Amino acid sequence: MIDKLIQGYEEYRNHYFRDNYDLLHKLGTEGQSPKTAFITCCDSRFNPLLITNSNPGDLFIIRNVAALVPPFQEVSGWHGTSAAVEYAVRHLEVEDIIVMGHSDCGGVKSLLSDEEIEDKDSFIPAWMSIAKQAREDALNDHPNTDKPERLPCACEQEVVKLSLKNLATFPWVKERLESKKLALHGWYYDLVSGEVLSYRPGTDSYKPVLCK
């Protein structure tokens, strides 16, 4: 596999890097100034740059398991996602933050699974516990569901809403939301259809992003 990647890098150097030299040189020497932060899952099956037809330098991409944003916490810790959000908001001064969940999300599946993971070396249950409320909300909205296949999708979409809610607990996010210097957006990507839905807070529903 590594040989294939090295070969791929050679292709990149000979073609993409050469063809886009001016842009890449400018970014490398003058720094980045993306206007959008894009928070999404680590899943390998999609790429925010491809989905949005963007170029290097356009998106400040933060990826973690299930596109989760924890709530603001004053206690110190290894707050990787919070630190990346802080950099995007306070230093890069992005104008938009997109949180994008997706279908068939392994992180969300583990949240819905009733099996307790007893592995004390696992970081995943503690991380996913941030989204416990999203699980409850999805279960409440679909009690005795006769369509169990809807549940993961509902939970994935609830997780996006929760991350948006948690983002607003960061004081410097809240401040910029109030002064309209920053806007938050919730997206949901269907891996099979390629459709992107966007969350509409007014109706508490998701609609195709292309539908105005």
Q: Which residues bind Zn ion (CB under 5 A)?
A: 41, 43, 105, 107
Q: How many CB atoms lie within 10 A of CB 167?
A: 25
> Rounded to an integer, what distance in angstroms lies between the CA atom of residue 77 and that of residue 123?
14
- Is residue 170 within 8 Å of 141, Cβ to Cβ? no
**Smallest gap, in angstroms, from Cβ of residue 33 to Zn ion?**
29
Specify the residue, 192 or 211, whose C-beta has the smaller distance to Zn ion: 192
- Is residue 58 within 8 Å of 36, Cβ to Cβ? yes
Specify the residue, 59 or 182, whose C-beta has the smaller distance to Zn ion: 59
> Rounded to an integer, what distance in angstroms lies between the CA atom of residue 39 and that of residue 81?
9
What single-letter amino acid sits at 136?
E
Specify the residue, 84 or 182, whose C-beta has the smaller distance to Zn ion: 84
Specify the residue, 95 or 104, whose C-beta has the smaller distance to Zn ion: 104
3-state secondary structure of 104: coil
**Smallest gap, in angstroms, from Cβ of residue 107 to Zn ion?**
5
**Smallest gap, in angstroms, from Cβ of residue 23 to Zn ion?**
30
**Smallest gap, in angstroms, from Cβ of residue 170 to Zn ion?**
23
